[in-house]
Amino acid sequence: MGHGHEVFDAKLVGVATALEWALERQLLGPIWVFLDAQNAIDRLKSTRPGPGQALVLRAHRAAEKLASRGQPVTIQWVPGHSGVEGNEQADQAAKRAASKHTAHGFEHLFLAYIKRRHRDGCVYKMPRGWSLDPLAGKAPKRLASRYYQLKTGHAPIGTYLHRIGRRESLECQACKEPHETVRHVLFECRGRRTGRKVLYRVLKKAGVPLPTAAEESPWARLFAEPRATQGLLQFVAEANLFHDKEQTAREAEISDVWGWDTLEEGGLGVTLEDE
């Protein structure tokens, strides 16, 4: 995989690629993936933002497609370097692959690598020719800043401000719900209904599947999807994330229908088309 990646990333690449391979080959019966890395297995349990998220999303998409055709996926831990035949063969294959040129598609840096380098005291410099997300890069600085803060979970909202000691309560300042999380801000807050309507409208036009209440981390999927960037930027611009508390409070009071129920009943789609 070349520079810019960790063993952790390689394990996740292996799982995602194996599941995609199984999907393409039209195999029969349940799918088992044997893995000797506990940290990678733990990461595969959630699509939350953080190191490995993009690879986990790949693995989850493939696993869901396999399950939909009656092939449930199981990730099984096996001890490494302990004489397990299949694991020993995988190690030998990995060593042979490591001696080859970097495969296409692995030229970028992974977050796990950047975090380790930061812990080691290194300063990250963007390689020549690299740039930010083109849409976010063209957005006004204030808007782009809020977008990236939401994406990384460091936005000035209840959960983050409480964690760093800047606010005593986790309460949402816009609608007074007890926990103001990124999920709440994007999909549930009554005070940000206008921004949510804009977000869903743009997602529909871009062909991005709308979030559902049953989805574990819908915000993570959207922030990892380039087609959703425009909608998220417009949400930030419309959703009063710049301390306009009076307007958000008024909007919360007059919103009769909002959030997941409206989306899942299909009513919001009609509202958006009518506007």
Q: How far is CA 49 from CA 43, 115, 124, 216, 221, in A?
A: 10, 14, 20, 11, 9
Task: Write down the pLDDT at residue 202.
Answer: 95
Element (H, E) at 32: strand 31-35
pLDDT digits (tens, 9 = 90+) for 210-230: 998 888 889 989 998 999 999
* Phi and psi at residue 2, to the nearest 5°: 80, -165
Task: Write down the pLDDT at residue 116.
Answer: 57
The CB density around residue 25, as the number of other CB atoms within 10 Å, is 8
Task: Write down the pLDDT at residue 47.
Answer: 81
Q: Which two tokens stand for residue 226?
A: 């380039």
Task: Write down the pLDDT at residue 110.
Answer: 55
Q: What is the pLDDT along the chain (275 residues), one digit of tens a residue?
A: 555 556 677 888 889 989 999 988 877 889 998 888 888 888 888 887 777 777 888 899 999 999 998 999 998 888 866 666 776 776 676 666 656 655 555 455 555 555 555 565 555 555 566 566 788 888 888 888 889 888 888 888 888 888 888 888 899 988 889 999 999 999 999 889 989 999 999 999 999 999 988 888 899 899 989 999 999 999 998 876 765 444 444 444 434 444 444 444 444 333 333 33
Q: Assess contact for 44 and 85: CB atoms under 8 A.
A: no
Length of the chain: 275
**Total-model pTM:** 0.51
Q: Assess contact for 210 and 187: CB atoms under 8 A.
A: no
Map 74-135 to HEC letters: EEEECCCCCCCHHHHHHHHHHHHHHCCCCCCCCCCCCHHHHHHHHHCCCCCCCCCCCCCCHH
Domains of the chain: 7-119 (3.30.420), 134-274 (no CATH)
Task: Write down the pLDDT at residue 244.
Answer: 47
